[in-house]
């Protein structure tokens, strides 16, 4: 039977009998229509499954959207909708290239859009996205919705959410994953207006409501779970302009007559200027290379609105998002979707399917007893200088980064917070200190203008623990950052095109080899104490989730895929305990520990205040040092906490930003 290929008039569809009598779900290596090779699963929901596929005829990647056929979506209805989707030509809508059907399901062949979803950007960023970016994407999405609304008859996307707003490496937005089934949508059910329950089909106003929910999530870092108890945008993130906040809240009004009627009306209400924020409270990382702006694609009567956007440098006081006086009411009605990590890297280009792990009984983590004492401090010198100082080994020192001298530099202090003094004086700044296994040397990266998630231009340097004999160790085109040092060598991250990937080098920066699989986006490796394994963060195996996995030191797995270390938490920043039993990590701005080999079951929370980042173990495994904004929403400081949990002890109080602590072995 014929199917539309996007280049000729639609033809009657009929039913395709696929070789082997395929039934849902499809499996990797399955071949459909002698052309589309299934590579893996990208996502699923009650209405169907989305697959990554390869078009063996055209020799290109593609996406196969499988929609279950039932009483709510018949074959005829699928044919009619699919024919109309193949005719769409808009730069902000992923192209539907072909369609066909089996007895159980209809299939859309859609262009593969390189990049990440807006939700994935939010997860990687670790805090709300910059208003300027979100508003630009909003205009592009609204332009696409206007285009759809002007078709005859109008077309509704029906599945708008942050996960279906795809952002290309050039920064252009594309809508993906249309919701064809009127009773079901692919993936997590998008936000719907209250009156939709009495409607038979979705329409433009429903798309505008759902887009408002997506924008709310991107600007606040929160997913709406109770729309009737909506917490105002600026109450969560005061950096957002009044105009944008009011526009989003109007789009989400529970009274239909108060919402926007058209995309143009919505676009006109969004902010057109973004005021610069004061320098001190800045927490974004836009020193990194951001995706280039897409060319204007909204060819509507309200084009003047887009032309009026003034792209002013600076983004808001995002640190206020997780201030300690965070509104308790917000916590009860919102579900966080971001973890407190450092800001946005470039999005990765490829996703691969996750392995399925059978559930097991959930054990609890038994923590070792906490001690009440710390290693004795070293007496402080009269003044802080950059001259070499005597450094005692044995875990009585914490290295950290401070901006109190201007550019970030590595500092050293006793484990009780005394004797704070600078260790480096790099003109381009120094960040991410890492101790050698014996505690006599340190690694750091430079240049670094400020705290960031990725450092594409950074090289790796080595110094003695007293700050002397700085040596350039390793420099790569994709940068060198997120370094971990063990007796087996160095594990670090460098960009390959747009994908962050984990590499290995020996202790002298030689014999570099890649450990990540080519299609993965991996970060933040941490060695086991014996140097035999690595726990790392992956954001590409399961769409829109950050999960910790482990692999062997050579990059191999015990099976066909790495096993999970975390499962139901958006986990980042792993740190392996000195005894090799526990992994400390950050999720939703809180510190957790979990046994590394329990598949993510039994994670135990250590902190109640947030946001916290960058845990680092004491050599006896009884304490953790970390950075936090709990006492100053504008400037992080270094803290210490025992494994018994709160309260934590604040170690630095300087008005400048202190972050990225590393406890000496």
| Tens of pLDDT, residues 157-179 | 988 999 899 998 888 999 998 88
The Cα-based distances of 117 to 50, 160, 177 in angstroms read 14, 12, 11
| Residue 317 · residue 634 · CB < 8 Å | yes
Question: Residue 198 half-sphere exposure, CB side, CA atoms within 13 Å?
Answer: 2
Residue 81: pLDDT band by 50, 70, 90 thresholds? confident
The Cα-based distances of 452 to 431, 614, 662 in angstroms read 9, 12, 16
Residue 242 three-state SS? helix
Lowest-confidence range among 142-151, 381-390, 600-609? 381-390
More confident residue, 100 or 645: 100
Sign of the dihedral through C-alpha 244, 246, 251, 257 = negative
- Look-up: residue for tokens 């952002």? 167
Using a cut of 0.75, tell me whether the model's pTM lies above it.
Answer: no
Residue 274: pLDDT band by 50, 70, 90 thresholds? low
- Residue burial 396-434, b: 16+ Cβ < 10 Å; e: rest: bbbbbbbbbeebbbbbbbbbbbebbbbbbebeebbbbbb
Task: Give helix then strand counts, H and E, for the chain.
Answer: 9, 35
Task: Tell how far CA 567 is from the center of its chain.
Answer: 15
Report how far residue 545's alpha carbon sits from residue 542's, in angstroms, rounded to the nearest whole number: 6
> Rounded to the nearest 5 degrees, what angle is found at the Cα of 498, between the Cα atoms of 493 and 500?
20
Query: What's the pLDDT at 8?
Result: 37
322 DSSP 8-state letter:
G
- 539-564 per-position pLDDT tens digit: 888 767 789 999 999 999 877 778 89
Residue 606: pLDDT band by 50, 70, 90 thresholds? very high
| Residue 37 · residue 29 · CB < 8 Å | yes
Residue 277 three-state SS? coil
- Nearest Cα neighbor of 265 from 212, 211, 232, 302 is 302
User: 157 burial class (0-12, 13-18, 19+ CB within 10 angstroms)?
Assistant: buried
What are the residues facing 400 on neighbouring strands?
Answer: 411
Residue 201: pLDDT band by 50, 70, 90 thresholds? low
Residue 35 three-state SS? coil
Question: Long-range contacts for 556-560 (Cβ within 8 Å, ≥24 apart)?
Answer: 559/355, 560/355
Report how far residue 221's alpha carbon sits from residue 322's, in angstroms, rounded to the nearest whole number: 10
pLDDT for residue 314 is more than 50: no
CA-only gyration radius of the chain, Å: 26
- Nearest Cα neighbor of 523 from 534, 536, 535, 504 is 536
Domains, the chain: 31-111 (3.30.200.20), 116-336 (1.10.510.10), 397-540+563-663 (2.120.10.30)
pLDDT for residue 412 is more than 90: yes
- Look-up: residue for tokens 């590394």? 596
Q: What is the C-alpha end-to-end distance of the chain, expressed in Å? A: 68
Query: What average pLDDT does the segment 326-351 reach?
Result: 35
Query: What's the pLDDT at 230?
Result: 85
pLDDT for residue 613 is more than 50: yes
| Residue 593 · residue 365 · CB < 8 Å | yes
């Amino acid at each position: 039977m014929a199917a539309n290929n996007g280049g000729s008039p639609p033809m009657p569809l009929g039913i395709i009998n696929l070789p082997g009598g395929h039934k849902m779900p499809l499996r990797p290596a399955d071949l459909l229509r002698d052309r589309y090779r299934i590579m893996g699963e990208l996502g699923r929901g009650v209405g169907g499954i989305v697959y990554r596929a390869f078009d063996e005829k055209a020799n290109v990647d593609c996406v196969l959207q499988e929609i279950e056929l039932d009483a709510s979506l018949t074959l005829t209805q699928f044919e009619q909708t699919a024919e109309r989707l193949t005719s769409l030509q808009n730069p902000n809508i992923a192209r539907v290239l072909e369609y066909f059907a089996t007895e159980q399901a209809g299939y859309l062949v859609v262009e593969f859009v390189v990049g990440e979803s807006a939700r994935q950007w939010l997860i990687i960023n670790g805090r709300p996205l910059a208003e300027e970016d979100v508003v630009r994407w909003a205009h592009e999405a609204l332009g696409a919705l206007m285009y759809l609304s002007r078709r005859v008859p109008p077309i509704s996307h029906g599945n708008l959410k942050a996960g279906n707003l795809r952002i290309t490496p050039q920064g252009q937005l594309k809508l993906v994953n249309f919701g064809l089934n009127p009773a079901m949508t692919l993936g997590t059910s998008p936000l719907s207006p209250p009156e939709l329950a009495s409607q038979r089909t979705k329409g433009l106003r429903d798309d505008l409501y759902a887009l408002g929910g997506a924008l709310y999530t991107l600007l606040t870092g929160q997913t709406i779970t109770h729309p009737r108890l909506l917490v105002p945008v600026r109450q969560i993130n005061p950096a957002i302009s009044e105009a944008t906040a009011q526009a989003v809240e109007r789009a989400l009004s529970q009274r239909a007559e108060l919402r926007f009627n058209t995309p143009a009306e919505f676009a006109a209400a969004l902010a057109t200027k973004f005021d610069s924020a004061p320098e001190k409270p800045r927490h974004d990382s836009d020193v990194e290379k951001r995706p280039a702006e897409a060319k204007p694609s909204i060819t509507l009567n309200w084009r003047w609105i887009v032309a009026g956007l003034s792209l002013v440098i600076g983004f808001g006081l995002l640190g206020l998002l997780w201030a300690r006086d965070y509104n308790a009411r917000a916590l009860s009605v919102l579900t966080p979707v971001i973890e407190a990590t450092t800001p946005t890297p470039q999005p990765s280009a490829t996703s691969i399917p996750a392995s399925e792990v059978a559930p097991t009984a959930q054990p609890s983590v038994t923590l070792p007893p906490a001690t009440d004492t710390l290693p004795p401090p070293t007496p402080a010198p009269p003044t802080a200088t950059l001259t070499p100082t005597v450094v005692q080994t044995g875990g009585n020192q914490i290295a950290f980064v401070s901006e109190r001298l201007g550019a970030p530099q590595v500092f050293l202090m006793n484990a009780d917070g005394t004797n704070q003094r600078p260790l480096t004086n790099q003109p381009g700044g120094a960040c991410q200190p890492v101790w050698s296994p014996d505690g006599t040397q340190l690694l750091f990266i430079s240049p670094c203008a400020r705290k960031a998630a990725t450092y594409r231009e950074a090289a790796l340097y080595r110094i003695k623990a007293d700050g002397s004999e700085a040596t350039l160790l390793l420099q790569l085109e994709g940068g060198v950052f997120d370094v971990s040092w063990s007796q087996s060598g160095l594990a670090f991250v460098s960009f390959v095109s747009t994908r962050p990937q984990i590499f290995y080098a020996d202790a002298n920066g030689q014999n570099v080899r890649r450990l990540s699989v080519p299609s993965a986006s991996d970060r933040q490796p941490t060695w086991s104490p014996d140097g035999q394994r690595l726990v790392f963060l992956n954001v590409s195996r399961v769409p829109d989730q950050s999960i910790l996995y482990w692999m062997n030191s050579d990059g191999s797995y015990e099976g066909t895929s790495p096993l999970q270390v975390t499962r139901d938490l958006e986990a980042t920043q792993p740190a392996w305990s000195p005894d090799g039993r526990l992994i400390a990590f950050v999720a939703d701005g809180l510190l957790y520990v979990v046994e590394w080999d329990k598949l993510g079951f039994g994670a135990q929370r250590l902190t109640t205040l947030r946001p916290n980042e960058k845990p680092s173990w004491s050599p006896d495994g009884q304490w953790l040092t970390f950075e936090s904004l709990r006492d100053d929403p504008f400037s992080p400081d270094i803290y210490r906490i025992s494994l018994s949990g709160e309260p934590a002890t604040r170690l630095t109080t300087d008005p400048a930003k202190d972050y990225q602590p590393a406890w000496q072995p």
